[in-house]
Amino acid sequence: MIIKLDTLNPKTREVADVVILGDHLVQKVALIKAHAKSYQLKVREGDLRYPYGDNRADYILTIHTDYQDIDIRLRYNNRKDKYDILGWMTANK
């Protein structure tokens, strides 16, 4: 899957290309990985519609699975040359 939890640094909560993964997102991705048999990725510019977004995200990474979909709001962090996760939401199948 796109978020490789096995590369998560336990001290800093960092993975490649993302500044920090919060505990809840790590748990949700682990749950989806345990149940999903297939996935597709989609990246689009912009943010989620209000009330889930506030026009601050540069991109939305959507991970479509046969179990549950997840939208992750991303904003590029120039200082760290990585993406900040502004928030995320899931949708049940």
Q: Return the higher-pLDDT residue of 3 and 24.
A: 24
Residue 7 has a pLDDT of: 53
pLDDT level of residue 8 (50, 70, 90 thresholds): low
| pLDDT, tens only, 44-79 | 999 999 999 999 999 999 999 999 999 999 999 999
Domain total in the chain: 1
Rounded Cα distance, 72 and 57, in Å: 9
Domain of residue 33: give its range: 5-92
Question: Within 10 Å of residue 64's Cβ, how many Cβ atoms?
Answer: 17
Question: Within 10 Å of residue 37's Cβ, how many Cβ atoms?
Answer: 7
Residue 2 has a pLDDT of: 47
Sign of the CA dihedral running 64, 30, 91, 59: negative
Closest to 17 measured CA to CA, from 76, 93, 91, 86: 76
pLDDT level of residue 22 (50, 70, 90 thresholds): confident
Closest to 49 measured CA to CA, from 60, 37, 34: 60
